[in-house]
Structure 1
Amino acid sequence: MSVKIPAAAFFAALVIVSAGFTGCDRFGGNAPAAPGIPGAAPEVQVYAVNTTTAVQGQIQDYLALSGDLVAGSTVDAYSDVAGRVTRLYVAVGDQVRRGDPIAAVDPSKPGMSYIPGITRAPIGGTIVALPAQMGMTISQAVPVARLTGGGALEIRLYVAERFISKMALSLPCEITLDAFPGETFRGSIHEISPVVDPASRTMEVKVNVENPGSRLKAGMFAKVRVITERKDQIVKIPSGAMIQRFGEDYVFTVETDPADPAFQVARRKTVVPGILVDGVLEVQSGLLPDEEVVVRGHTLLEDGSRVNVVDRAAPLSVN
């Protein structure tokens, strides 16, 4: 008895048989081996990194302090007699010469008349304060006026005891003020106190301030960088480029893969670090200028690891 097979069932069976043969070929000797299977081509891991270039230039260490601008030389003028101020010859801001009259003080009392005494400027300079006012009765202990001489300004700084060893006369200073954003004024240490204040454990240091155009005024608040060390022609990199492990300091540089020039590899280089200032690190040895250094993505690298540079940051400034 013959059995009639529907056409749809015949074609379905044919597809199943074909799939079975295809599956056999997939695992046969002619198919490429999967990773981890003997005979398979090894996978080469590529690490994405960011780099920058080592720079040869200047680095300077500094101590950040702050203080108020004060007149370099300030002198008070006193009256020779006690009495009532009957006349003021000057106003705040006036320029005077030594011996110029400042105020007249009348020592007369009821029933007695005296010639007013004239208070004169002890130095040439600028009137910065007039404590004595018209009609005010003063004694010889009360200053009539306060003068600054020569227009020189200085900043009095107080240095913590642990930084005293870094202080020296003529150290250069960089001065910034909120009144002049973006500008830097120059100065230098001209006086160092011979003693340390036992209460605050600080030492007073005075800084001369260059004042071109007399734009700076006494009483302004200033931020001061005392340059304690300056090095020229050194190699420097971002501090994040250096790795410290097991007592060893090293960086990774990027070079062309000698086995395949189409790729790049990381090279581990031991370095000797120097001073660190604001995220900039001096490299005393182990690295040359213009070498490409990995600054990000280096934590998993080994010597010879293949890398792909996805970003090259601008190098540090020379100064």
Structure 2
Amino acid sequence: MIKRMVIMLLATGAVFGGLYWFQNFKAGIIQQVMAGMANPAQTVSTAVADVTDWQDEIEAVGSLRAANGADLALEVSGIVQNISFNSGDAVEQGQTLLQLNATEDNAKLVSLEATLDNYNITLQRDLAQLNVKAVSQATVDTDRANVKNAQALVDQQKAVVEQKTLKAPFAGRLGIRSVDLGQYLTAGTTVVTLQSLDPIYVDFYLPQQDVSRLKVGQDVTTTIDAYPGKTFTGQISAINPKVDSTSRNVQVRATLKNADGSLLPGMFARVKVATGAVQQLVTVPQTAIVYNPYGDSVFIVDKDKGNREHDSVRQVFVKTGSVRGDFVAVTDGVKSGDNVVIAGQLKLRGGTPVIVDNSHVPTSQNAPEIKDQ
């Protein structure tokens, strides 16, 4: 009997012990689940902060302008008699491009030249007679005046004839001609455009506070949308000595080499002017910076796991410098080698566990370009 009671007591103790252990186990599970729900691991993307050569830049937009450019036209009207160029030709300075009908003007010039020749003969004859006192000095003076007057009329008529000939005022490349043979051309009508393309200018405007950082001869780099991935280099050739009183901007001109003529006047240009000395600075992608009114910060992934299941992050305040492409210089708060979060910061706070997934992170570039898909 006693033995049976002992067995029953032991069985009852085992049951109650099992129930107590189960309650503690369940409570522990619930506590772990609740803790996980309160601070679940977040998926983020990261990048490593690195030290790079960094030079401050001033960025601006501008447009290309030919060193010499003009829409060529004639001062007088007439019928086009001869065209000596094709659209797109490269021409030299002084090359004849177009001739109007000048038959009547040339005939008048021949007549005036004949009159001049006659006055010259008369002058020479009277000079010989003056030596033997056959004519007076007044006669010779009149002959000289006649010669000068006839010469002036000849020069005037030559200018009239010259006005009916269009010549290239400088070397360059012609555009598309807008006249045809036999066409009646009124004075001032554009015949063709002529542009001198090498070198070529890029004109742009900068705020007045940047004037102290500019000087003639400073290097500039230019990119053109028409030539993605290609950079054109040049130097500042002129800085306007006057600041625009309305915009408070100053005009700057840089000169670019353009031997192949690929750059054309009127093209839109993006210009970068390098200023200051090259520095060694820590840089991170711009997306790593969390901008707030109380200060900018970044999240750094702590790789020292210890007994933790996931990596965690800590938030640090930073001081940022200038921006270049996808990168920003960090002057304080981040050191080289730090693993900074560049995507997924919205749900983070200090100590949040994270899962790093860099499988879909785009490549950051110093000079990013927009590509058509």
Q: TM-score, normalised by structure 2?
A: 0.59
> 5+ residue gaps in structure 2?
1-10, 111-160, 368-373
Give the whole-Å Cα distance in 1 for the aligned partners of 2:334 and 2:243. 43
Residue 309 of structure 1, aligned match among 355, 363, 368: 355
Contact 1:81 1:107 in 2 (8 A): no
Pairing partner for 1:189 from 230, 233, 236: 236
Equivalent of residue 223 in structure 1, options 245, 248, 269: 269
Partners of 1:216 and 1:260 in 2: how far apart? 62
Are 1:288 and 2:335 an aligned pair? yes
Distance 2:309 2:28 in 1: 24
RMSD over aligned CA atoms reads 4.6
Q: What residue number does 1:54 align with?
A: 49
In the comparison of the two structures, how many residue pairs are matched? 293
Deviation at 1:286, TM superposition (A): 2.5
Secondary structure in 2 matching 1:216? coil
CA distance in 2 between counterparts of 1:311 and 1:254 reads 12
Cross-structure match for 1:65: 61
Contact 1:99 1:123 in 2 (8 A): yes
Counterparts of residues 196-207 of structure 1 (less than 5 Å): 196-197=243-244, 203-207=250-254
Residue 221 (structure 2) pairs with residue 173 (structure 1): yes
Partners of 1:49 and 1:294 within 8 A in 2: no
| Separation (CA, whole Å) in 2 of partners of 1:301 and 1:264 | 13
Query: Larger deviation: 149-158 or 130-139?
Result: 130-139
Q: Percent identity?
A: 20
Q: Give the partner amino acid of 1:94.
A: D
- Take 1:126 and 1:291, find their aligned partners in 2: how far apart are those partners? 55
Change (3 A) 1:32 1:213: same
2:200 counterpart of 1:153: yes
The 1:150–1:293 alpha-carbon spacing in structure 2 relative to 1, beyond 3 Å, is closer
Cα distance in 2 for partners of 1:189, 1:213 equals: 21
The structure richer in strand per residue is 1
Q: Structure 1 residues 298 and 147, CA, compared in 2 at 3 Å: closer, same or farther? A: closer
Specify the code of the residue in structure 2 equivalent to 1:63: E
CA contact (8 A) 2:57 2:274 kept: yes
The 2-side partners of 1:318 and 1:149 are apart by 33
- Tell me which protein shows more helix as a share of its residues: 2
Give the counterpart of 1:102 among 80, 97, 103: 97
- Deviations 1:192-238 (CA, angstroms, capped at 9, x unpaired): 3333455666544333333353333344x323132355754321113
Write the letter of the residue equivalent to 2:335.
L
After TM superposition, give the deviation of residue 309 of structure 1 in Å: 2.8
- The structure whose Rg is larger is 2
Query: Hey, what does 2:284 align to over in structure 1?
Result: 237
Contact 1:76–1:143 under 8 Å retained in 2: yes
Query: 1:240 offset after TM fit, Å?
Result: 3.6
Q: Give distance in 2, aligned partners of 1:176 and 1:136.
A: 40
